[in-house]
């Protein structure tokens, strides 16, 4: 038995240690910029459903994902007029 560390069977074995951006999720900076743009769109009354649709798959945080999904559902509801 050598003193060398064991290597993983595949890169997927280390996926839980990978950076969010490496895994295809948005970085904190991207989420921050997105939230600022979303707040501005809401402030001026601009439709933002497309922005939400594009970002949702990239949000790893469950709480934030649920909040954004609720915003999207509200934006797309028949009562919203969109």
Task: Please report, for residues 24, 32, 44, 59, the alpha-carbon distance to residue 27 in angstroms, rounded to integers and kept in the order given.
Answer: 9, 9, 26, 9
Cα dihedral: 61, 62, 63, 69 (round 10): 110
Domain annotation covers residue 2? no
Number of domains observed in the structure of the chain: 1
d(CA 29, CA 16): 20
Q: Is 0.85 surpassed by the pTM of this model? A: no
The pLDDT of residue 33 is above 90: yes
Q: For all residues of the chain together, what is the average pLDDT?
A: 84
Domain annotation covers residue 6? no
Strand locations in the chain (E): none
Q: Which domain holds residue 38?
A: 11-80
Give the range among 2-11, 55-64, 66-75 with minimum mean pLDDT: 2-11
Domain annotation covers residue 41? yes
Domain annotation covers residue 54? yes
Query: Is 13 in a helix, a strand, or coil?
Result: helix
Using the structure block, give the residue that is written with the tokens 């469950």.
62
């Amino acid at each position: 038995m050598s003193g060398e560390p064991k290597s993983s069977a595949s890169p997927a074995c280390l996926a839980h240690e990978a950076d969010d951006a490496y895994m295809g999720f948005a970085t904190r900076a991207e989420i921050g910029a997105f939230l600022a743009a979303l707040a501005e769109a809401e402030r001026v009354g601009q439709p933002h459903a497309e922005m939400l649709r594009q970002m949702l798959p990239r949000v790893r945080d469950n709480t934030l994902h649920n909040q954004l999904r609720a915003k999207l559902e509200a934006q797309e509801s028949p009562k919203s007029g969109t």
